[in-house]
């Protein structure tokens, strides 16, 4: 690693810290409005909160109980906007809520669902209805009726990567494995000091700094900028377990627990069910968060109270945990802290460069958050163009039709490709799949086979176009094949990546 600091003379309009959904969302919007944008992510894109979510684009039915009408209205409307922008990584999903009258009366749930159906514009998503369970239901026999409504499921990490790809296509410079170690104001600029795992230390200048560091937002202000944070942050851990398919069909369940919290059981990647989430105060390093035994017991007990199939610890295939960076509203109950976002623009003297910090937020509202961020920055960039993201597809979402249509088209060209592969490709890459497969007509032309339908051509694309470096980037965040890969298959992929990076470095040096 190079240890000397070099100065990059380019002066950007915006330097954005953080490659989670909020950082990349602001980057793509700003770049599309004509601003020059630099974004740094200390690890891989989406490697923290933005890949540890419940993977829902949802209004948040339970937020109605906390009277978060602004947030719910905005989030409900965003479901349709995002579904249109990214029909490959986002899909409509029906949610079944078993009725447990001692927890919430039917009239209360019906009222909530009425608001849910009507608060935001709904074109594609179906409205709510009552459901009655027969003997073949996967639920305990005592649960005989409930309600059904619509929201959407999303591949959270791919949503982040696609926004980063689009930001780059609009001219942004997106760098990963590069930490902002400090920044200070020098007259009308921010001087941003960076440490890259590949390039060593360097610095850039920008006219405005955007702090989208998620769980690190307040620490970054205090420790790296040596300023006072305008808001407190509450770090609230949420964890999930993944088990073999608990029920058939493509509908999810939303279960009410005796503590009045709700837990989802969501069909995941055809073979699995994802169960979560929890809510508990967290005080450690957000990068080290892990599910606890109490959280596992809690999630199993809620599932077992609802489903006929009783789960034990040994049924768990995998777990994941994340930390919600919530704006501190001094609520006693972690579940009740606002999920809405707050943007803090630092007070600036005339001629001083602004700092905009992002507190809180949801995957669902990232696009609206980005629009609000740019509205706040508009006075500093009067030449900035207007809003544009609502009606532009994300990469791969353009001219793809449905996932099923696209999967069929791929199979017409690559006739020996199995359904599982063409479906995975269609829902991960949308119409960008043609950049990976080109004109080939057999899987034998896809290069080295690492197992479970992962071939060299896809891996090369992920390295060249999607910032993938390690096998974890590819298996956990770009493809979600990590649940299937055996250790020796991961080793095979690791070896290929080492060789591939060596070859690329030699080509650059030559």
Ligand X SMILES: Cc1cc2nc3c(=O)[nH]c(=O)nc-3n(C[C@H](O)[C@H](O)[C@H](O)COP(=O)(O)OP(=O)(O)OC[C@H]3O[C@@H](n4cnc5c(N)ncnc54)[C@H](O)[C@@H]3O)c2cc1C
| Closest separation in Å from C-beta 213 to ligand X | 3
Backbone angles phi, psi at 312, to 5 degrees: -120, 170
Using CB under 6 A as the binding rule, the residues of this chain from 410 to 449 that contact ligand X are none
Distances in whole angstroms, Cα of residue 343 to Cα of each of 159, 394, 397: 22, 24, 29
Smallest distance, ligand X to C-beta of residue 509, A: 27
Nearer to ligand X, 325 or 354 (CB): 325
| Site track 362-401 with ligand X (rule: CB under 6 A), x = hit | xxx-------------------------------------
Spatial contact of 259 and 279, defined as CB atoms under 8 Å apart: no
Determine, following the binding rule CB under 6 A, whether residue 47 of this chain makes contact with ligand X.
Answer: yes
Q: Is 453 in the site for ligand X (CB under 6 A)?
A: no
Contact at 8 Å (CB) between 218 and 231?
yes
Q: Which stretch binds ligand X (CB under 6 A): 8-16, 43-51, 436-444, 502-510?
A: 43-51
Does 120 interact with ligand X (rule: CB under 6 A)? Answer: no
Prior bond to 10 cis, omega within 30?
Answer: no
β-strands 37-40, 173-175: how paired?
A: parallel
Question: What whole-number distance in Å separates Cα of residue 151 and Cα of residue 131?
Answer: 17
Residue pair 6/144 in contact (Cβ under 8 Å)? The answer is: no
* Residue 53 interacting with ligand X (CB under 6 A): yes
Q: Which is nearer to ligand X, 292 or 413 (CB)?
A: 292
CB nearer ligand X, residue 325 or residue 395: 325
Choices 36-44, 131-139, 469-477, 495-503; region in contact with ligand X by CB under 6 A: 36-44
Residue pair 88/428 in contact (Cβ under 8 Å)? The answer is yes
> Which residue, 59 or 395, is less far from ligand X as judged by CB?
59
Q: How far apart are CB 364 and ligand X at their closest, in Å?
A: 4
| From 40, 252, 353, 475, residue interacting with ligand X (rule: CB under 6 A) | 40
Query: Which stretch, 295-303, 318-326, 395-403, 411-419, contacts ligand X (CB under 6 A)?
Result: 318-326
* Helical segments of 378-414, H only: 403-413
- Please select the residue that binds ligand X; options are 213, 255, 300, 462, rule is CB under 6 A: 213
| Cβ at position 132, least distance to ligand X in Å | 28
Query: What kind and span of H or E run contains 122?
Result: none
Whether the Cβ atoms of residue 133 and residue 82 lie closer than 8 Å to each other: no
Report the half-sphere exposure of 325 (CA within 13 A, side-chain side): 30
Q: Pick the stretch among 49-57, 126-134, 330-338, 382-390 that binds ligand X (CB under 6 A).
A: 49-57
Exactly one of 79, 324, 368, 432 binds ligand X (CB under 6 A); that residue is 324
Distance of CA 5 to the CA centre of its chain: 33
Cβ proximity to ligand X, 197 vs 504, nearer residue: 197
**Closer to ligand X by Cβ: residue 363 or 414:** 363
With CB under 6 A as the contact rule, the residue among 17, 90, 157, 208 that binds ligand X is 17
* 56-57 and 90-98 strand pairing: unpaired
CB count, 10 Å around CB of 190? Answer: 23
344 binds ligand X (CB under 6 A): no
Q: By Cβ distance, which residue is nearest to ligand X?
A: 20
CB nearer to ligand X: give 41 or 371.
41
List the one residue from 267, 361, 453, 492 that touches ligand X (CB under 6 A).
Answer: 361
State whether the Cα torsion 444-445-449-451 is positive or negative. negative
Q: By C-beta, is 177 or 306 nearer to ligand X?
A: 177
- 173 near ligand X (CB under 6 A): no
Q: For residues 217-256, which are near ligand X according to CB under 6 A? A: 220, 224, 238
Residue 388's alpha-carbon distances to 31, 34, 83, in angstroms, are: 11, 11, 16
CA separation for the pair 306, 304 (Å, rounded)? 5
Nearer to ligand X, 47 or 422 (CB): 47
**Residue of 12, 15, 37, 43 that binds ligand X (CB under 6 A):** 43
| Per-residue binding letters, 265-304, with ligand X (x by CB under 6 A) | ------------x---------------------------
Is 54 among the residues that bind ligand X (CB under 6 A)? yes
Beta strand pairing call for 200-211 and 355-360: parallel
Task: Kindly state the helix (H) or strand (E) to which residue 168 belongs, with its residue range.
Answer: helix 156-169
**Cα–Cα distance measured from residue 156 to residue 162, given in angstroms and rounded to the nearest whole number:** 10
CA distances, 133 to each of 143, 144, 147, 298, 304 (Å): 7, 5, 10, 25, 17
Residue 56 in the binding site for ligand X (CB under 6 A): yes
| Secondary structure of residue 404 in the 3-state scheme | helix
Q: Give the DSSP letter of residue 346.
A: P
How far apart, in whole angstroms, are the C-alpha atoms of residue 37 and residue 192? Answer: 13
C-beta of 179: minimal distance to ligand X in Å?
A: 4
- The answer to whether residues 160 and 168 touch, using CB atoms and an 8 Å cutoff, is no
Distance from CA of residue 463 to its chain's centroid? 20
Of 54 and 338, nearer to ligand X (C-beta) is 54
> Residue 322, interface with ligand X (CB under 6 A)?
yes
Decide if residue 48 touches ligand X (CB under 6 A): yes
Distance CA 97, CA 131 (A): 9
Which residues here bind ligand X, judged by CB under 6 A?
17-23, 40-43, 47-50, 52-56, 58, 179-180, 212-216, 220, 224, 238, 277, 322-325, 358, 361-364
């Amino acid at each position: 690693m190079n240890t000397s600091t070099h100065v990059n003379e380019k002066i950007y309009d915006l330097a954005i810290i953080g490659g989670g959904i909020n950082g990349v969302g602001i980057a793509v919007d700003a770049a599309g409005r004509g601003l020059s944008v630099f974004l740094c992510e200390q690890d891989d894109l989406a490697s923290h909160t933005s890949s540890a979510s419940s993977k829902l684009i949802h209004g948040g039915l339970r937020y109605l109980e906390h009277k978060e009408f602004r947030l719910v209205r905005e989030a409900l409307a965003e479901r349709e906007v995002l579904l249109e922008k990214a029909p490959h990584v986002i899909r409509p999903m029906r949610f079944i809520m078993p009725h447990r009258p001692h927890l919430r009366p039917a009239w209360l749930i019906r009222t909530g669902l009425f608001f849910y159906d009507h608060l935001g514009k709904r074109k594609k998503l179906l409205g709510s209805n009552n459901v009655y369970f027969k003997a073949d239901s996967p639920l305990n026999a005592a649960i005989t009726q409930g309600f059904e409504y619509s929201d959407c499921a999303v591949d959270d990490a791919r949503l982040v990567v696609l926004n980063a790809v689009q930001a780059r296509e609009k001219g942004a410079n997106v760098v990963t494995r590069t930490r902002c170690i400090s920044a200070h104001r020098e007259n009308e600029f921010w001087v941003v000091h960076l440490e890259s795992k590949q390039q060593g230390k360097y610095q850039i200048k920008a006219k405005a700094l955007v702090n989208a560091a998620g769980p690190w937002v307040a620490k970054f202000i205090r420790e790296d900028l040596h300023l006072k944070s305008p808001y407190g942050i509450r770090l609230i851990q949420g964890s999930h377990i993944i088990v073999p398919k608990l029920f058939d069909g493509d509908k999810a369940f939303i279960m009410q627990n005796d503590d009045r919290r709700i837990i989802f059981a969501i069909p995941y990647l055809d073979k699995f069910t994802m169960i979560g989430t929890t809510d508990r105060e967290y005080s450690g390093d957000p990068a080290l968060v892990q599910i606890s035994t109490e959280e596992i017991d809690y999630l199993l007990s809620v599932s077992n109270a609802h489903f006929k199939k009783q789960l034990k610890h040994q049924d768990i295939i995998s777990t994941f945990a994340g930390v919600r960076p919530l704006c501190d509203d001094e609520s006693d109950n972690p579940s009740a802290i606002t999920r809405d976002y707050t943007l803090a623009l630092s007070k600036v003297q005339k001629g001083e460069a602004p700092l905009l910090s992002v507190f809180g937020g949801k995957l669902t509202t990232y696009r609206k958050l980005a629009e609000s961020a740019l509205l706040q920055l508009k006075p500093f960039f009067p030449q900035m163009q207007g809003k544009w993201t609502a009606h532009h597809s994300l990469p791969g979402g353009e001219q793809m039709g449905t996932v099923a249509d696209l999967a069929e088209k791929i199979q017409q060209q690559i006739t020996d490709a199995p359904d599982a592969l063409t479906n995975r490709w269609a829902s991960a890459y949308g119409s960008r799949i043609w950049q990976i497969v080109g004109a080939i007509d057999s899987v034998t032309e896809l290069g080295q086979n690492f197992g479970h339908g992962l071939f060299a051509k896809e891996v090369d694309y992920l390295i060249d176009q999607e910032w993938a470096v390690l096998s974890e980037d590819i298996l956990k965040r770009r493809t979600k094949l990590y649940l299937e890969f055996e250790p020796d298959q991961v080793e095979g992929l690791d070896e290929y990546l080492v060789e591939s990076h060596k070859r690329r470095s030699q080509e650059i040096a030559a």
